Amino acid sequence: MGASKEKPIDVCETFCYDEDTVSRIRPKIDKMDGVEQIFKALADATRLKIAYALTLERELCVCDIATIIGATKATASHHLRLLKNMGLAKHRKEGKLVFYSLEDEHVHQLVTIATVHAKEGVDRGRE
C-alpha cells in the first residue's frame, strides 16, 4: 500500500495573483530592509529578557541587569552592548556604574506588544 498523498490545505492549488495588489505593494517591500535586524536582536532570549526588564524600569545598572537575568556582569554587558549597537538601548555612565535604558518609546512598545501577544497565545491555548 502506498502512502496517501493528501494535498495540503494551506497552499493554493494553482498559481495566480492580483496584478493591481502586487504592483501596489511590491515597491513598498524595500522599506523592510534592515528591520529584520531589530527582530534578530530581540530573538535572543537573554536580550529579550533584558529589554523586557527595561520596560519595567526606566533604567537599570549593568549589575542589576546581570542579577535579574542570572548572568555574569560580562554576559550582561555583552548583550547590552549588542542592543546598544543595534539602536535598541542607550547607556550613561555615573561614576563607576553604567546604566542602560531603552533607546526610545518605539522599542518599549515593540517589547510590550510582543509580551501581550505571547500571553494572549498562552491564554488561547487554555480555552
Where along the chain do its domains lie? 36-126
Asked if pLDDT for residue 2 goes beyond 60, the answer is no
Segment 27-70, tens digit of pLDDT? 999 999 989 999 999 999 999 999 999 999 999 999 999 999 99
Segment 95-115, tens digit of pLDDT? 999 999 999 999 999 999 999
Interhelix angle for 73-85 vs 62-69, to 10°? 110
When pLDDT is cut at 50, 70 and 90, the band that residue 10 belongs to is: confident
Q: Which residues have C-beta within 8 Å of that of residue 49, sequence separation ≥ 6? A: 68, 69
What's the confidence (pLDDT) of residue 81? 97
Residue 88 cell numbers, joined: 535598541
pTM of the model: 0.80
Q: What is the mean pLDDT of residues 16-29?
A: 94
How far apart are the C-alpha atoms of 56 and 42, rounded to whole Å? 16
Domain 36-126 has CATH 1.10.10.10: yes
Segment 70-92, tens digit of pLDDT? 999 999 999 999 999 999 999 99
What's the confidence (pLDDT) of residue 125? 65
When pLDDT is cut at 50, 70 and 90, the band that residue 8 belongs to is: confident
